[in-house]
């Protein structure tokens, strides 16, 4: 009744942006990510007779409120769906994130939680099934079950039974790097969840966004298969710009960008003009992630650190999927 | 055979963004502007027997090349269309722009040129007809024939005969102010003309842009009629954000924004949070124009000047249409 799992976070190159079902966390479009080596969560789940309710400790701190509720709701869901136990669990998680500044840990967190929980209950399920379960905790977490390049199939079923991630290419096949550029100022007035919803509900550009996805996916998967970094990078960058454009067409309009975000974007474009193959992507927040190849690591790090408003640059390789400790 | 005219520039609140006919300069959508008091061009046109070709002097300098060609082509067009003369003309223009930094003078320039030319030829044409002629020189210049709030009707005829501007409200009816925020760094890699064309041809968001225009126009004209500054300002700001979003969906994507552009945008939003009624709009370049009411002039100017990367702030009232000197 006890198990420990480790899961990495992931960065979307084709963004998950909009839900077709809020409660089942079913996306409007397929997305594609790269699992990152450097950010991970380890979680131990122990089901115990003596507990009257679930307990959640994160980095040795007892968690209550909203964050606790999401974990407990997820455990409830697994108990209900699997009928494997009626016991409550103690959940002990550690986030291994090199900085506290603005990185979402919900992807690695829910992937590790789902893996440890199902292992503790001795359920024999496939990774695909595990990904589907994980999705109910946090949408993008379903991609963190796998390493390397991963695609989340939106599925078409109303109950979400065909909405899960699959691996496109394992981490060891291609050494693509990501520099996470942490800005000094990372305030965010609108949460990802709220921004996504407002965009789907009101943006005049949302139909254009959806229409552009199938071609992006087809091309980026070609690029991954061919190890064509220019192709993978330029499609990722264009896809992120399109995602951020949709927020400018929402009502009321908004943007996640800060002035330093734009400086990093322009710094990346300037490096490209100097012949360095480097591309950016940006999630629903001001920080920027930069894609590059191993031979450019030193120059990319150096140049990013020189940009005013950059607080830290954390480099990462492509990471593995869920493992059990 | 000689006349002098003066015309002001204008700032679009509902943007002209995309042509349906490149050579006749016919727009894809109606646009709406405010004529600005502070930026203007005076032009004297003299038709002379002794000239073998047209001459163009701008600020006392003889102009050749592309800029000359546009003026000569416009004079050719008027000679051909009106059959009023076969003589060549001397054109002497002065741009009264408080700074050289990045302000388009083509709107005031072509409006003054068209007015002086038709007056020199003693053609009796309506302002509407003058606006239509002016459009053939530079699209947005057709709005500068009129003062105050002006709408450019895109028209539906293939020959452009119904594509001209009309006045929505004269300048003296409502004292709305504009602060032109000139940035220190105003480089622009893609011209308005090229950016517009690339967007129409390739942006997945262009249909969404066009779809949003009729409602914007209806609402902003309601706002103007009701002297509802919040309404006029918020629609202007949302329209400009939508225009700039379309460039992020082009192939390849691009943006006219610099980091200082974003700082000014966020500065304006911060002023609003402090209760000052102020809104921004941005043309196809990095500079920002800020709309405000007379009572806020001091505070708006002061706050804009404090933003790093702001080189100058030039305030303007609503201006008159074409006049003859």
Residue B104 to chain A, least CA–CA distance (Å): 24
B147 pLDDT tier (thresholds 50, 70, 90): very high
DSSP letter, residue A253: -
Residue B141 to chain A, least CA–CA distance (Å): 27
User: Considering A139, A172, A205, which residue would you say is the last residue of a domain?
Assistant: A172
Contacts of A251 in chain B (CB under 8 A): 238
Residues B145 and B183 in one domain: no
Residue A324 lies inside a defined structural domain of this protein? no
Residue A148 lies inside a defined structural domain of this protein? yes
Contacts of B208 in chain A (CB under 8 A): 203-208, 249
Residue of B nearest to A242 (CA): B249
Residues A81 and A12 in one domain: yes
Residues A204 and A295 in one domain: yes
Residue A108 to chain B, least CA–CA distance (Å): 30
Interface test with A, best of B204, B215, B240, B256 (most A CBs within 10 A): B204
Check whether the bond before A128 is cis (ω within 30° of 0). no
Residues A119 and A186 in one domain: no
Residue of A nearest to B264 (CA): A259
Domain count, chain A: 2
**CATH code, domain with B138:** 3.30.230.10
Of the two residues B124 and B218, the one the predictor is more confident about is: B218
Contacts of A209 in chain B (CB under 8 A): 204
User: Considering B173, B196, B224, which residue would you say is the last residue of a domain?
Assistant: B173
CB–CB contact A259 B259 (8 Å): yes
Interface pTM, i.e. ipTM = 0.92
Nearest to B248 among A203, A244, A260 (CB): A244
pLDDT value at B287 more than 90: yes
Among residues A16, A25, A12, the alpha carbon closest in space to that of A209 is found at: A16
Q: Does B270 touch chain A (CB under 8 A)?
A: no
pLDDT value at B101 more than 50: no
Predicted confidence pLDDT, tens digits, chain A (325 residues): 999 999 999 999 999 999 999 999 999 999 999 999 999 999 999 999 999 999 999 999 999 999 999 999 999 999 999 999 999 999 999 998 765 545 667 899 999 999 999 999 999 999 999 999 999 999 999 999 999 999 999 999 999 999 999 999 999 999 999 999 999 888 888 998 999 999 999 999 999 999 999 999 999 999 999 999 999 999 999 999 999 999 999 999 999 999 999 999 999 999 999 999 999 999 999 999 999 999 999 999 999 999 999 999 999 999 999 999 9
**CATH code, domain with A309:** 3.30.70.890
Residues A50 and A161 in one domain: yes
CB–CB contact B253 A241 (8 Å): yes
**Domain membership of residue B231 as a residue range:** 177-316
The dihedral formed by the CA atoms of A253, A257, A259 and A265, expressed in degrees to the nearest 10: -130
Residue B322 lies inside a defined structural domain of this protein? no
Residue A18 lies inside a defined structural domain of this protein? yes
Q: Return the SS3 of A312.
A: strand
Alpha helices in chain B (DSSP H): 65-82, 106-120, 127-135, 192-202, 206-225, 229-248, 259-273, 297-305
Residue A323 lies inside a defined structural domain of this protein? no
pLDDT score for A185: 86
Contacts of B212 in chain A (CB under 8 A): 204, 249
Residue A292 lies inside a defined structural domain of this protein? yes
Across residues B130-158, what is the average pLDDT?
Answer: 97
Angle between helix B259-273 and helix B297-305 axes, rounded to 10 deg: 140
Question: How many residues in total does chain A contain?
Answer: 325
Q: Does A258 touch chain B (CB under 8 A)?
A: yes
CB–CB contact B245 A205 (8 Å): yes
Nearest to B205 among A205, A238, A261 (CB): A205
Phi, psi of B146 (to 5 degrees): -110, 155
Q: Is A232 exposed, middle or buried (0-12, 13-18, 19+ CB in 10 A)?
A: buried
CB–CB contact A262 B262 (8 Å): yes
Contacts of B207 in chain A (CB under 8 A): 207-208
Residue of B nearest to A307 (CA): B259
Q: Which tokens hold the place of B203?
A: 């942006």
Alpha helices in chain A (DSSP H): 65-82, 106-120, 127-135, 192-202, 206-225, 229-248, 259-273, 297-305
Q: Does B211 touch chain A (CB under 8 A)?
A: yes
Contacts of A258 in chain B (CB under 8 A): 262, 266
User: Are the C-beta atoms of B95 and B28 separated by less than 8 Å?
Assistant: no
B105 pLDDT tier (thresholds 50, 70, 90): confident
Residues B182 and B168 in one domain: no
Contacts with A, B 181-210, CB within 8 Å: 203-205, 207-209
B98 pLDDT tier (thresholds 50, 70, 90): low
User: Considering A172, A200, A233, which residue would you say is the last residue of a domain?
Assistant: A172
CB–CB contact B252 A259 (8 Å): no
Residues A16 and A115 in one domain: yes
Spatial separation of the C-alpha atoms in residues B53 and A168, rounded to whole Å:
67
User: Are the C-beta atoms of B140 and B63 separated by less than 8 Å?
Assistant: no
Residues A31 and A143 in one domain: yes
Residues B160 and B253 in one domain: no
Percent above pLDDT 90 for chain B: 92
Spatial separation of the C-alpha atoms in residues A205 and A243, rounded to whole Å:
9
Q: Does A270 touch chain B (CB under 8 A)?
A: no
Residue A291 lies inside a defined structural domain of this protein? yes
Among residues B157, B159, B127, the alpha carbon closest in space to that of B142 is found at: B127
Residues B202 and B267 in one domain: yes
| pLDDT tens by residue, B251-267 | 999 999 999 999 999 99
The b/e string for B120-146 (b: 16+ C-beta within 10 A; e otherwise) is: bbeeeeebbebbbbbbbbbbbbbbbbb
CB–CB contact A209 B204 (8 Å): yes
Among residues B237, B258, B252, the alpha carbon closest in space to that of B204 is found at: B252
Q: Does A252 touch chain B (CB under 8 A)?
A: yes
CB–CB contact A253 B246 (8 Å): no
User: Are the C-beta atoms of B67 and B58 separated by less than 8 Å?
Assistant: yes
Residue A325 lies inside a defined structural domain of this protein? no
Residues B134 and B221 in one domain: no
Among residues A87, A81, A54, A79, the alpha carbon closest in space to that of A68 is found at: A54
């Amino acid at each position: 009744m006890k198990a420990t799992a480790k899961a990495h976070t992931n960065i979307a190159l084709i963004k998950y942006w909009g839900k077709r079902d809020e409660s089942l966390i079913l996306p409007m479009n397929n997305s594609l990510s790269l699992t990152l080596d450097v950010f991970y969560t380890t979680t131990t789940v122990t089901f115990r007779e003596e507990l009257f309710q679930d307990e959640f400790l994160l980095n040795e701190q007892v968690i209550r409120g909203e964050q606790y509720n999401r974990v407990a709701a997820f455990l409830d869901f697994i108990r209900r769906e699997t009928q494997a136990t009626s016991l409550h669990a103690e959940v002990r998680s550690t986030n291994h994130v090199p900085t506290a500044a603005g990185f979402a840990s919900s992807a690695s967190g829910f992937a590790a939680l789902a893996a440890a929980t199902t292992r503790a209950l001795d359920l024999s399920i496939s990774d695909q099934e595990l990904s589907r379960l994980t999705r109910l905790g946090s949408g993008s977490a379903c991609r963190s079950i796998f390493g390397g390049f991963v695609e989340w199939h939106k599925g078409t079923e109303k109950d979400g039974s065909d909405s899960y991630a699959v691996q496109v290419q394992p981490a060891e096949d291609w050494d693509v790097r990501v520099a996470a550029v942490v800005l000094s100022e990372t305030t965010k007035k609108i949460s990802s969840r709220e921004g996504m919803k407002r965009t789907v509900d009101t943006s005049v550009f949302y139909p254009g966004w959806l229409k552009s996805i199938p071609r992006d996916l087809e091309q980026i998967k070609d690029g991954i298969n061919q190890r064509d970094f220019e192709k993978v990078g330029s499609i990722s960058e264009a896809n992120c710009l399109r995602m951020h454009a949709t927020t400018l067409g929402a009502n009321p309009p908004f943007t996640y960008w800060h002035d330093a975000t734009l400086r990093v974007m322009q710094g990346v474009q300037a490096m490209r003009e100097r012949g360095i193959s480097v591309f950016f992507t940006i999630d629903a927040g001001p920080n920027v992630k930069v894609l590059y190849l191993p031979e450019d690591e030193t120059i990319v790090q150096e140049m990013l650190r020189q940009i005013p408003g950059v607080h830290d640059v954390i480099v990462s390789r492509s990471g593995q999927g869920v493992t059990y400790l």
